[in-house]
Structure 1
Amino acid sequence: MSETFDKLMDAAENGIRLRGYHAVSFRDLAEELGIKSSSVHYYFRQKEDLGLALVERYAARFFAALDTKVEKAKTPEDRIRAFAELYREALTGSDRICLCGMLGAESCGLPPTLSKAAGEFLQENINWVAAALPKALPSKARHKKAMHIVATLQGGMILASSLKDYGIYDNAVQDLLAA
């Protein structure tokens, strides 16, 4: 779109990943970017529209990066390791948790369409991990294991970010891969 649009999206994503959906306002974003609040409304009629656009962009970027990261993965362990590395890169690159993890934590207070979009991203993560696990496992067991992996990584991101210790995340990944 435009440079202003890209800066707006980046500022909104960073704000939500750091402080949460309700702590980010159009007025704050406009002030941060040095534009008028009406300029934010030019791109997004409502805050919910902004949130949905952020989830869509975040998901597209995440899965594109994941496709690239797993190109050379030969085993289920390699694929899960690549998935966990991508989560870690998201954490260490911004010192913030996953956008959809943050929105998921706030889901009870979000507009229903935004809560659903964040949940769909997390479900896509679970589905991807389940498909990456060994096919010898029964489908139900793969799905259960995938939920455990995604929950552990999301929780590891929260603790690592909160306690300013990436080793917490790394230990969680080590334990997952050892199991």
Structure 2
Amino acid sequence: MSDTRSQLKQIATEQIRRHTLHSASFREMGKVLGIKSSSVHYHFENREALLQELIDDYEQAFFSRLDALCEGMSSPVKQLQTLASLFSDSHSQQCQCLCLAFAAAGSETSAAQRAAVERFLLRLEGWICTVLTSAGVPQPATELQARFILSALEGALLLDRDQPEAQRLNAVIQYLPAFVNSHSTPQPETL
């Protein structure tokens, strides 16, 4: 991939995560990089293709980072706190989850983009379900609880977005251990 193409994708991702989906226009991207908007068209067929590529790249990068951070980690609570730390990192960078920006745009996005956002959310809920199951949370409650945890993290990040302190996000993070412990069944002790 060309360096200019990578830079354009990075600019678009940052614009969307810091503002809204609409802030990633070819004109604005070109302005930031110091090129004409027609030059941006050289790298991307159209805006829809760019946006679809951004979602796909975001999902890949998010899960690669999450898996790397949780590698070798056996504590479900620590795994969930590691997930939450990704949201804290976003807050400290004054960013929102890219998929949240797409979800907030609603019908202004294409069907393919909405499907990609749903795929990301389902994949993340699946990851959380796996962690909850390893913590001894009984099935089928894990699916509902995974949605609850993801909604709490995404919602708190959105509500704290323009705040200097991540009060709501920090509250979710602090509550995660108690939530997991209150919903898990005690594991038998091994000798």
Matching residue of 2:188: none
Question: 1:114-125 maps to which residues of 2 (within 5 A)?
Answer: 114-125=113-124
Matching residue of 2:141: 141
CA distance in 2, matches of 1:139, 1:91: 32
Residues 137 and 168 (structure 1), Cα distance of their counterparts in 2 relative to 1, 3 Å cut: closer
What stretches of structure 2 of length at least 5 have no aligned partner?
180-191
Give the TM-score normalised by the residue count of structure 2: 0.87
How far does the alpha carbon of each residue in 1:1-27 deviate from its partner, in whole angstroms, 9 at most, with x for none? 122111101110011112211232111
Question: 1:83-102 maps to which residues of 2 (within 5 A)?
Answer: 83-92=83-92, 94-102=93-101
How far does the alpha carbon of each residue in 1:49-79 deviate from its partner, in whole angstroms, 9 at most, with x for none? 1111111111111111111111132121121
CA distance in 1, matches of 2:144, 2:25: 37
Residue pair 2:80, 2:176 contacting (<8 A) in 1 also: no
Secondary structure in 1 aligned to 2:72?
Answer: coil
Give the TM-score normalised by the residue count of structure 1: 0.92
How many Å apart are 1:142 and its aligned residue?
A: 0.4
Matching residue of 1:76: 76
Higher mean Cα deviation, 106-115 or 146-155?
A: 106-115
Secondary structure in 2 aligned to 1:133?
Answer: helix
Matching residue of 1:131: 130
Question: 1:14-29 maps to which residues of 2 (within 5 A)?
Answer: 14-29=14-29
Higher normalized helix content (fraction of residues): 1
CA distance in 2, matches of 1:138, 1:109: 38
Secondary structure in 2 aligned to 1:149?
Answer: helix
Structure 1 segments, 4+ long, off by >6 Å, are none
How many Å apart are 1:150 and its aligned residue?
A: 0.4
How many Å apart are 1:176 and its aligned residue?
A: 2.6
CA distance in 1, matches of 2:82, 2:53: 26
What stretches of structure 1 of length at least 5 have no aligned partner?
none
CA distance in 1, matches of 2:130, 2:178: 19
* Bigger Rg over Cα: 2
CA distance in 1, matches of 2:132, 2:90: 22
Residue pair 1:91, 1:98 contacting (<8 A) in 2 also: no
CA distance in 1, matches of 2:169, 2:48: 31
CA distance in 2, matches of 1:113, 1:127: 21
Instruction: Name the aligned partner's letter for residue 148 of structure 1.
Output: F
Matching residue of 1:171: 171
How far does the alpha carbon of each residue in 1:22-52 deviate from its partner, in whole angstroms, 9 at most, with x for none? 2321111111111121221112111111111
CA distance in 2, matches of 1:86, 1:167: 15
Q: Identity of paired residues, percent?
A: 30
Secondary structure in 2 aligned to 1:134?
Answer: helix
Residue pair 2:9, 2:54 contacting (<8 A) in 1 also: yes
Secondary structure in 2 aligned to 1:139?
Answer: coil
